[in-house]
Amino acid sequence: MSIDAPSHLDLPEHVRRFPFPFPHDRYMYSVNVEPGRNPSQTAAGRWGERILEVDGFYLQDLEARAAVLDRDPSRAAQMSHMRPGVWGALHLVLTELAATYPEWMAYERHGDRCRWTNRLQQLQTDFIVGADYSLPEGPLRFLSTQVQDDFALLNLREGALWLDAGVVTFAADWSMGFDVGLPFSEIHGPVPRAADLGVIDRAEQFLLNLQPGDPYRRTNWTMTVDRRMDTSTESYPEWAQDRSLVATDPALPDRLHLRVEVQHLIKVPTTGDLLFLVRTHLLSLRELAAVPAWGRRLAEVLRTLPEDLADYKGIARYRDAAARWLQEADAA
The pLDDT of residue 135 is 96
The pLDDT of residue 65 is 97
Predicted TM-score (pTM) of this structure: 0.91
The pLDDT of residue 81 is 96
Cα 48 to Cα 67: distance, rounded to the nearest angstrom: 29
Cα 306 to Cα 310: distance, rounded to the nearest angstrom: 6
The pLDDT of residue 2 is 42
Interval 98-110: pLDDT, tens: 999 999 999 999 9
Q: How far is residue 112 CA from its own chain's centroid?
A: 31
CB 183 within 8 A of CB 162: yes
CB 45 within 8 A of CB 8: yes
Interval 174-218: pLDDT, tens: 888 888 988 988 887 767 666 667 777 888 888 888 998 899 999
The pLDDT of residue 3 is 42
Please list the pLDDT of the chain residue by residue as tens digits (332 residues). Answer: 444 445 566 899 999 999 999 999 998 877 789 999 999 999 999 999 999 999 999 999 999 999 999 999 999 999 999 999 999 999 999 999 999 999 999 999 999 999 999 999 999 999 999 999 999 899 999 999 999 999 999 999 888 899 999 999 999 888 888 889 889 888 877 676 666 677 778 888 888 889 988 999 999 999 999 999 999 999 999 999 998 899 999 999 999 999 999 999 999 999 999 999 999 999 999 999 999 999 999 999 999 999 999 998 999 999 999 999 999 999 98
- HSE-CB at 107 with a 13 A cutoff on CA atoms is 17
Residues marked active site are found at: 218
Q: What is the DSSP string of 84-102?
A: HHHHHHHHHHHHHHHHH-T
CB 36 within 8 A of CB 215: yes
Non-local (6+) Cβ contacts of 36 within 8 A are 48, 51, 215, 216, 217, 264, 265, 266
Give the start-to-end residue ranges of the domains of the chain.
Answer: 53-331
Q: Is 226 helix (H, G, I), strand (E, B) or coil?
A: coil
Q: Is 321 helix (H, G, I), strand (E, B) or coil?
A: helix
Q: Which residues pair with 76 in a beta bridge?
A: 167
Cα 140 to Cα 75: distance, rounded to the nearest angstrom: 11
Q: How far is residue 196 CA from its own chain's centroid?
A: 25
CB 37 within 8 A of CB 46: no
Q: Which residues pair with 194 in a beta bridge?
A: none
The pLDDT of residue 202 is 83
The pLDDT of residue 8 is 64
Query: How many CB atoms are located within 10 Å of the residue 222 CB?
Result: 16
